[in-house]
Amino acid sequence: MSVSVDVHDLSIVFGSGPQAVRVLPGVSIAVQPGECFGLVGESGSGKSTVLRCISMLTDFWQGEIRIGGRFVREIPLGERCRTLQMVFQDPYGSLHPRQSVRTVLHEPLAIHKLDDREDRMRRAITDVGLPVSFLDRFPHQLSGGQRQRIAIARALILEPSLLLLDEPTSALDVSVQAEILNLLQRLRDERGFTYIMVTHDLAVVDHMCDRFAVMLLGEVAEVLPRDAIAGNQATHPYARELVGASLAYEGTRRAQG
Amino acid sequence: MDTLLDVSNLRIRYGGAAREAVRGVSFTLGRERLGIVGESGSGKSTVGRALLKLLPGATITADRLRFEDVDLTLLSEREMLKIRGRRMSMILQDPKFSLNPIRRVGDQVSETYLRHFRCSRREARERALAMLEAVKIRDPERVYRQYPHEVSGGMGQRIMIAMMLLADPDLVIADEPTSALDVTVRLQVLDILDNLVRNRGIGLIMISHDLNLVRNFCDRVLIMYAGQVVETLKAGDLERAEHPYTRGLLAAQPRIGGPRAPLSVLDRKPEWLEENA
């Protein structure tokens, strides 16, 4: 079920002619099967762009991306969608307001001509901890946390092995964030998903990820294991600053023990 | 400590809403930093806006709503204009949306001064430049001439702070002032705000959903749930909170170096919704 992700020398240019901007000047990361890999960095550092390149939502990049050893460009569309899925930041923007949960979950099944549709939909919605009756609700009848659960159910319904998570909890309250993080962790334990997770919150990285890359201006400044956060063992100056700031932010509490 | 603000039994109902958004909130504020935390929908921003009477269409009632020598409930809109920005001002969440995109930022800052004091444009400009320097903008002359899209988020928020402190208000309400900023920038902006507020003896109400932020930058914290204050604590005593809701919020936070056990999830009790007298 688990797949590895290898990104080698990924670069992308937006615009053309004199206004062309090279956003990623050559990113390389290697994610092990079943790993939860974090991408952190300030806004505009290219974290989300990396996810969009891996998922081929943005496809005019150069370099190599391999998923489970296969070049992502060579994986046929249908198979690619059954291998990787993405969960977006804003659950208010990523669900169609006029489509019921049933429609949202049914569409991928119809596209991929899968059978047992009712069963699969029931399973997906139960997996994310919602009652089956929610299938007939519309997004406006759901809270933010419930919407994000639906977005996760939509990603799960094709039974992928790689989930790309683009700030899955930053639009949610702390109490709701806890529910979603627990859900993601349980699903990984049960199914052995590989996660690549963009976030700006190092406490979330520390809770979820095995390793993480600190990005700065489109480049990977440093790849660190999770344990490096608590004692700030980063060596790159920006990574040190980021980890230091996050520790300082939690500050008072740490001082008190 | 002299009391800047005295609020008692504040109730707010939005037009057409079945229930009140804020139900009987009472607190007093001196020259201190008060945090209001709670989840989205708990009514924390509504309280902030009600103090500035920025809620058209909502019904605001209170037993007492005193700001220094004035009774806010009795003021007309015309009289409110003399208070807003001059004696009480508000810093909003995202500078991208709260600055006018087609005016130079410097002109927007100096407008505050022009509006509230009799002075020449030149004097207002100088005041604004000095204030931009006070919020640690390195090249104020250059930034003065820039448009909002040319400045970064952290810079934009410092410009907002400059604008809101220029008229030397007694009370500043900051509604999620740093939620839109990166962690590294967040601390710088908070430090600048903190220094200015302390040095000038301004009362600060910091509205946030972030427990870490209020813990580090406030003296006292009100915790709101469903339109009511469930608990008031000294910021240092947050860890010793007693209300199950506050305790639940604290426990739900992932922590650096924490165990990776599943986070505890808030178990919302229906009795928290009942109105406490």
CB A155 within 8 A of CB A86: yes
Would A248 be classed as within a structural domain? no
Contacting residues of B for A186, CB less than 8 Å apart: 262
Contacting residues of B for A247, CB less than 8 Å apart: 256
Residue A129 in contact with partner chain B when CB distance is under 8 A: no
Q: What is the pLDDT of residue B261?
A: 84
Residue A217 in contact with partner chain B when CB distance is under 8 A: no
**CATH code for the domain of A107:** 3.40.50.300
Question: What domain range includes position B267?
Answer: 5-272
**CATH code for the domain of B137:** 3.40.50.300
Identify the weakest region by mean pLDDT among A44-48, A182-186, B175-179, B257-261.
B257-261
- Is the confidence at residue B277, as pLDDT, over 60? no
Q: What is the pLDDT of residue B27?
A: 95
Residues 67-126 of A with CB under 8 A from B: none
The verdict on a CB contact (< 8 Å) between B212 and A200 is no
- The stretch B13-36 carries a mean pLDDT of 91
Would B170 be classed as within a structural domain? yes
Residue type, B263: L
The verdict on a CB contact (< 8 Å) between B184 and A173 is no
Beta-carbon contacts of residue A184 (< 8 Å; ≥ 6 apart)? A152, A163, A165, A168, A195, A208
- Is the confidence at residue A42, as pLDDT, over 60? yes
- The stretch B149-160 carries a mean pLDDT of 90
Would B277 be classed as within a structural domain? no
The verdict on a CB contact (< 8 Å) between B185 and A42 is yes
Would A256 be classed as within a structural domain? no
As for the ipTM of the complex, it is 0.78
How many domains does chain A divide into?
Answer: 1
Q: What is the pLDDT of residue B39?
A: 86
Would A60 be classed as within a structural domain? yes
Would A237 be classed as within a structural domain? no
Q: Which of A207, A229, A236, A243 to mutate to test the interface with B (most CBs of B within 10 A)?
A: A207
Q: What is the pLDDT of residue B233?
A: 94
pLDDT interval class at B276 (50, 70, 90): low
For the stretch A71-119, pLDDT in tens is: 999 999 999 999 999 999 888 888 999 999 999 999 999 999 999 999 9
Would A151 be classed as within a structural domain? yes
- Is the confidence at residue A63, as pLDDT, over 50? yes
Would B137 be classed as within a structural domain? yes
Contacting residues of B for A201, CB less than 8 Å apart: 183, 254
pTM (predicted TM-score): 0.84
The verdict on a CB contact (< 8 Å) between B256 and A247 is yes
How many domains does chain B divide into?
Answer: 1
Q: Which of B40, B93, B176, B183 to mutate to test the interface with A (most CBs of A within 10 A)?
A: B183
pLDDT interval class at A252 (50, 70, 90): very low
pLDDT interval class at B37 (50, 70, 90): very high
- The stretch B241-255 carries a mean pLDDT of 90
Question: What domain range includes position A32?
Answer: 5-220
Residue A241 in contact with partner chain B when CB distance is under 8 A: yes
The shortest CB-CB distance from A179 to any of B236, B255, B265 is to B265
Q: Which of B184, B245, B269 to mutate to test the interface with A (most CBs of A within 10 A)?
A: B184
Share of chain A above pLDDT 70, in %: 97
Would B141 be classed as within a structural domain? yes
